[in-house]
Amino acid sequence: MIPYGKHHIDEDDIQAVVRVLQGSMITQGPAIELFEKKVADYVGAKFAVAVSSGSAALHLSALAADIQPGRSLVTSPITFVATANAGLHPGGDVIFADIDPETINMSPEALQNILSKNKSVRAIVPVHFAGLPCDMKNIKSLADEAEAVVIEDAAHALGATYDNGNKVGCCENSLMTIFSFHPVKAIAAGEGGMITTNDEVIYRKLLKLRSHGINKIDDPLLLPEAYDDSERNPWYYEMQELGFHYRITDIQSSLATSQLNKIDDFIARRRTLVMQYDKAFKGLKNCRPAQIMGKEQSGHHLYVLRIDFNSIGLTRGQFMRALSASNIGSQVHYIPVPLHPYYQKLGHNLNSFKNAKEYYDQALSIPLFYDLTDDEQNYVIKTIKALLG
């Protein structure tokens, strides 16, 4: 079976994990800070906080942005549910802004329209869909006008670059950026996530929130029993906020650090495969690549086709089952978040998201990963073209 996405593990990744297992700290040790430093350096941000998943990173960043009851978070309907859930967990509301039909990213016009009617918006969370960076300058200036902060969901976009060549995650137009290290993403930690920021106050808040709200950094301790003759008591620790256990382990951090050494190769191979798919699916009647721009900028997390299933006389389910019978995996990214039963119960629906709806009806992600060979890719192309008729 050729899956739609997959990680790549080398012997040096295995040895990196073995070294941690043979050492004295398998969690809360030095590998975590090394990983944080490496990601911060790679993307060009001052600070990075590693956590247990991309979803945990989103949750903590919404808390750090002060989302709470009465405040809203705006995001794209075409994303994984975790992006929107980050607004709900702290008791806030979620508002969706329709996508641009060409980029599949949140449309700045749709965002502007929402901000003009809605004074409760506190955070805007653009998603760099499939690794293609959003129009961050435009989004940042709209956010500034509305006095909202920007959190970039870069779960697809580690290694992607903006037009000016800076890396996604440098936070030049956002307060925070989040990444995921789930195995289908650019690099694998097993499970893992990261928040980058240039803001030291936010950084310190995130460090506390990740570990129960306990102050283990050098922030001032609040209660007098912290000190004995002005010396810090050795047993003392202090919970200053309501936090979570969202820590990552040294085992995961060490794997991800080793993986990060290879990211430029990973993306270069993905880019080559994307160019080959683009060429193969150019000029077809019933099928086209969902994103045609930004090939040098994108992190190339996914390759999505838009297929006019009505005109080929197959439902998407039939199409996917036929691919699967030929040992080819495919997936739909994503079921629009407002369509999920939980969101419908909150009053959401797809009525006002014409572009998201049209995209969703046609979308199909086909295999894209570092180890996909040219032969396998040609087989995927041939099989899909035969099904298209």
Ligand X SMILES: *Cc1c(COP(=O)(O)O)cnc(C)c1O
Touching ligand X, residues 205-264 (CB under 6 A)? none
Residue least distant from ligand X (Cβ)? 54
- Which residue in the set 32, 82, 304, 307 belongs to the binding site for ligand X (CB under 6 A)? 82
The reply to whether 180 sits near ligand X by the rule CB under 6 A is yes
Write each residue from 146 to 175 as x if it is in contact with ligand X (CB under 6 A), else as -, in one continuous string. -------x-xx-------------------
Alpha helices in 232-332 (DSSP H): 250-260, 263-280, 309-312, 316-325
Write each residue from 308 to 347 as x if it is in contact with ligand X (CB under 6 A), else as -, in one continuous string. ----------------------------------------
Backbone angles phi, psi at 295, to 5 degrees: -65, -30
> Is the alpha carbon torsion for 65, 68, 74, 76 positive or negative?
positive
The reply to whether 187 sits near ligand X by the rule CB under 6 A is no
Burial group, residue 70, by CB count within 10 angstroms (0-12, 13-18, 19+): exposed
- Which residue in the set 45, 50, 55, 299 belongs to the binding site for ligand X (CB under 6 A)? 55
Nearest CA-CA partner of 303 in 177, 178, 156: 156
The reply to whether 83 sits near ligand X by the rule CB under 6 A is yes
- Residue 53 beta carbon to ligand X: minimum distance, rounded to whole angstroms: 3
- Residue 256 beta carbon to ligand X: minimum distance, rounded to whole angstroms: 11
Write each residue from 15 to 54 as x if it is in contact with ligand X (CB under 6 A), else as -, in one continuous string. --------------------------------------xx
Alpha helices in the chain (DSSP H): 11-22, 30-43, 54-64, 81-88, 108-117, 136-145, 200-210, 250-260, 263-280, 309-312, 316-325, 341-345, 354-362, 374-388
Q: Which is nearer to ligand X, 83 or 196 (CB)?
A: 83
Q: What is the CA radius of gyration of the chain?
A: 22
The reply to whether 186 sits near ligand X by the rule CB under 6 A is no
The reply to whether 127 sits near ligand X by the rule CB under 6 A is yes
The reply to whether 182 sits near ligand X by the rule CB under 6 A is yes
- Residue 51 beta carbon to ligand X: minimum distance, rounded to whole angstroms: 9
- The answer to whether the CB of 170 falls within 8 A of the CB of 159 is no
The reply to whether 368 sits near ligand X by the rule CB under 6 A is no
- Residue 65 beta carbon to ligand X: minimum distance, rounded to whole angstroms: 16
Give kind and range of the element (H or E) at residue 304.
strand 303-307
What are the CA-CA distances from residue 16 to residues 40, 42, 111, 324 (Å)?
Answer: 20, 19, 44, 35
What are the CA-CA distances from residue 368 to residues 6, 149, 185, 255, 331 (Å)?
Answer: 8, 33, 11, 22, 11
- Residue 221 beta carbon to ligand X: minimum distance, rounded to whole angstroms: 33
Q: Which is nearer to ligand X, 121 or 127 (CB)?
A: 127
- The answer to whether the CB of 56 falls within 8 A of the CB of 246 is yes
Q: 28: which DSSP letter?
A: S
Which residues make up the interface to ligand X (CB under 6 A)? 53-55, 79-80, 82-83, 127, 153, 155-156, 180, 182, 193
